[in-house]
Structure 1
Amino acid sequence: MNVTTHSEIAEFDALSGPAGQTRGRVLQAVFWVLLIGFVLLAPTMLYPVFVMQLLCFALFACAFNLLIGFTGLLSFGHAAFFGGAAYITGHALTAWGVPPIPGILLGAAFSAALGYVVGALAIRRQGIYFAMITLALAQIVYFFALQLPFTGGENGLQGIPRGHLFGLIDLNQTLNMYYFVAAVFLVGFLIIYRIIHSPFGQVLQAIRENEPRALSLGYNTDRYKLIAFVLSATLAGVAGSTKSIVFQFASLTDAHWQMSGEVILMTLLGGLGTIFGPVVGAFIVVALQQFLSAIGSWVQVVIGATFIACVLLFRRGVVGELARWLKVGSL
């Protein structure tokens, strides 16, 4: 039997009461302003290609957080959707001459279909069994990426053309490409934000907190979890497709199990189940990888040490601890 202390009750009241809700709305508005301001002004302060990489991984982490943070499902195989969409989009643009937006939509459609297959098989199990099924199926996708002729094998799919947006805007121009990526990220982030705050998102959070109770209320929890899985896979595919156009390259690294580990790390560092946490976590990981690249493989040691420090000092992640410190329900 769990015992709730007076301090825990007071903290809950502070977070869920009118004052806490008002603070939460104000701080969310502040975060929105900071996020949009950063996206718009970043090319004037930072290397645009670095920021494009950051935005792609931030969308990937937000898509993953929709599954683990708001549905309670841990997937070890999200790299399959990220990398698979990158290959599909890259092949469509290279071999078929498809424009960028239809190419991204093809990659997203592939990830949605793959997510439906993987999700339909995996949600029959729970906990670590669910996670291991997703990992096993993702390794099959990795094997196909290695063996299929159009993927380029170990060399990857190179020379992916960026093309022209609507036939008019040349995406080979760095700033044009940047603002296209920024628009993709903001649209994807808005979709995730809307899902979280919709009645559907509330049901997902109920399943995360107490699935038997949600089931007793008449909700088909397996159907909700499958839809959440497909949505998460689709948005992860959008992130992978966009990244392949940015770097004009799709490689086995995008579909490797280590990529699944990186997105888990980003989500945990930023704050599991928070709105803006995955963006912060992605920034931390990508920044460490970029600015410490001179030390070679030691960068993984630094990232690992950062993760350990975060787990010990910020158990709720950076944004999660900030929300707790400011006594707001969610950021």
Structure 2
Amino acid sequence: MAVAENETLQDVIYPKEVGMPLLHKAIFLVLLSFLIVLPFMVYPVFAMKVMCFALFAAAFNLLLGFGGLLSFGHAAYFGGASYVAAHAAKVWGFTPELSVLAGTLSATVLGLVIGSLSIRRQGIYFAMVTLAFAQMVYFFALQAEFTGGEDGIQSVPRGDLFGVIPLQGNIALYFFVLVITFGGILCLYRIVHSPFGQVLKAIRDNEPRAISLGYQVNRYKLMVFTLSAGFAGLAGATKAQVFQLASLTDVHWSMSGEVVLMTLLGGMGTIFGPLVGAAMIVTMQNYLATFGAWVTIIQGVIFVLGVLLFREGVVGLLSRLLKRRL
């Protein structure tokens, strides 16, 4: 690779940062404007649920879509943080922001521990190891005294933000969740478009070549695993505040399956795809609830059709069609 006279080798490896593309700025602006008016158009709790799962899917996409690591156990961080945040708010009397922070930190530490062991394997073995650890977390939540067993932690107080702003009302809580979700997605965007994110993509696309270039691949894998677990925990801790509940459903293996479905259906490896996938799945669950157990089957059929028709997901398909028109 030739290096220009006024350009160093470091500039070639880590290109100088450029601002956010105009299209992405416009999308973020439209998305924020839509989310601001959304609670006045639909039931606020439903909108908050969509945002929590959108953040969860975006966190998982960081690991799978950009890191190339398939985890079957991300419910461990989502649900684990939910339990810690609920316990901190109900038993320890933490304010909402501190309880969410406690849940996020616990998920990050758990991700660091599990990730340091899981990254020793690759492919399906890595996925199975993450599932095994997630099942350990599930059975711990089932047996531990502070988790409430099958009843979970109920009647979690919403409290007062910073001890001043009451969050008992759905509208006030909605904007608290909006700040967390939108801020989390912006952070994930920044991570993906940083030099660290570029190295992740290189490892995903060709790990042997990344190793030959001198990158310590396992360190990057552990970092992205821990970051993904932390953001998943942020989503789970926020959900506990919204529903005032932490239950076994949050740590069940089916929750890991749902986030995989959201990511693949919306568009793996895209910034906005997981958000679209989460909105589709949560909306489907809400409006098809009358079908009972058939909801899972309907979701499975839609997923199979989606993969067969457009493997790049909804957002990937729209992006390809737009490029053709241009």
TM category, shorter: over 0.9
Matched, 1:267 2:263: yes
Letter in 2 for 1:227: M
Matched, 1:214 2:210: yes
Letter in 1 for 2:109: A
**Whole-angstrom distance in 1 between the partners of 2:22 and 2:189:** 16
Aligned to 2:98: 102
**Whole-angstrom distance in 2 between the partners of 1:37 and 1:306:** 29
TM-score w.r.t. structure 1 length?
A: 0.91
Letter in 2 for 1:98: F
Matched, 1:39 2:35: yes
Secondary structure of 1:324's counterpart equals helix
Letter in 2 for 1:245: Q
**Whole-angstrom distance in 1 between the partners of 2:23 and 2:300:** 30
Q: Deviation at 1:44? A: 1.4
Aligned to 1:173: 169
Letter in 2 for 1:84: G
Aligned pair partner of 2:248 in 241, 249, 252: 252
Q: Deviation at 1:77? A: 0.3
Secondary structure of 2:66's counterpart equals coil
Letter in 1 for 2:32: I
Instruction: Write out per-residue CA displacement over residues 146-174 of structure 1, whole angstroms, 9 at most, x where no aligned residue.
Output: 00001010011101000000122111111
Letter in 2 for 1:310: G
Q: Deviation at 1:183? A: 0.4
Matched, 1:122 2:94: no
Matched, 1:58 2:33: no
After the TM superposition, which of the residue ranges 35-44 and 145-154 deviates more from structure 2? 35-44
Q: Deviation at 1:29? A: 2.9
Q: Deviation at 1:124? A: 0.5
Aligned pair partner of 1:140 in 127, 136, 141: 136
Residue segments in structure 1 that go unaligned for 5+ positions in a row: 1-20
Letter in 2 for 1:93: A
**Whole-angstrom distance in 2 between the partners of 1:308 and 1:150:** 40
**Whole-angstrom distance in 2 between the partners of 1:105 and 1:25:** 31
**Whole-angstrom distance in 2 between the partners of 1:129 and 1:193:** 29
**Whole-angstrom distance in 2 between the partners of 1:143 and 1:190:** 34
Aligned to 2:198: 202
Instruction: Write out per-residue CA displacement over residues 283-322 of structure 1, whole angstroms, 9 at most, x where no aligned residue.
Output: 0000000011111111112111111111111210000111
**Whole-angstrom distance in 1 between the partners of 2:72 and 2:31:** 28
Matched, 1:161 2:133: no
Q: Deviation at 1:69? A: 0.2
**Whole-angstrom distance in 2 between the partners of 1:126 and 1:327:** 35
**Whole-angstrom distance in 2 between the partners of 1:137 and 1:33:** 39
Secondary structure of 1:66's counterpart equals helix
Instruction: Write out per-residue CA displacement over residues 50-80 of structure 1, whole angstroms, 9 at most, x where no aligned residue.
Output: 0000000000000000000000000000000
Letter in 2 for 1:281: G
Instruction: Write out per-residue CA displacement over residues 221-246 of structure 1, whole angstroms, 9 at most, x where no aligned residue.
Output: 00001000000000000000000010
Q: How many residues align?
A: 307
Aligned to 2:4: none
**Whole-angstrom distance in 2 between the partners of 1:38 and 1:263:** 23
Q: Deviation at 1:25? A: 3.3
**Whole-angstrom distance in 2 between the partners of 1:203 and 1:176:** 40
Paired-residue identity, %:
59
Letter in 2 for 1:231: L
Letter in 2 for 1:225: K
Letter in 1 for 2:311: R
**Whole-angstrom distance in 2 between the partners of 1:324 and 1:246:** 37
Matched, 1:84 2:83: no
Aligned to 1:6: none
Runs of 4 or more, structure 1, over 4 Å off, are: none
Letter in 1 for 2:218: D
Aligned to 2:227: 231
**Whole-angstrom distance in 2 between the partners of 1:165 and 1:219:** 43
Secondary structure of 2:104's counterpart equals helix
Aligned to 2:304: 308
After the TM superposition, which of the residue ranges 80-89 and 303-312 deviates more from structure 2? 303-312
Residue segments in structure 2 that go unaligned for 5+ positions in a row: 1-17
Letter in 2 for 1:243: K
**Whole-angstrom distance in 2 between the partners of 1:233 and 1:196:** 15
Question: CA-atom RMSD, angstroms?
Answer: 1.5
Letter in 1 for 2:293: S
Q: Deviation at 1:46? A: 1.0
Matched, 1:149 2:145: yes
**Whole-angstrom distance in 2 between the partners of 1:213 and 1:327:** 30
Secondary structure of 1:191's counterpart equals helix
Secondary structure of 1:139's counterpart equals helix
Q: Deviation at 1:327? A: 2.1
**Whole-angstrom distance in 2 between the partners of 1:90 and 1:36:** 28
Q: Deviation at 1:26? A: 4.1
TM-score w.r.t. structure 2 length?
A: 0.92
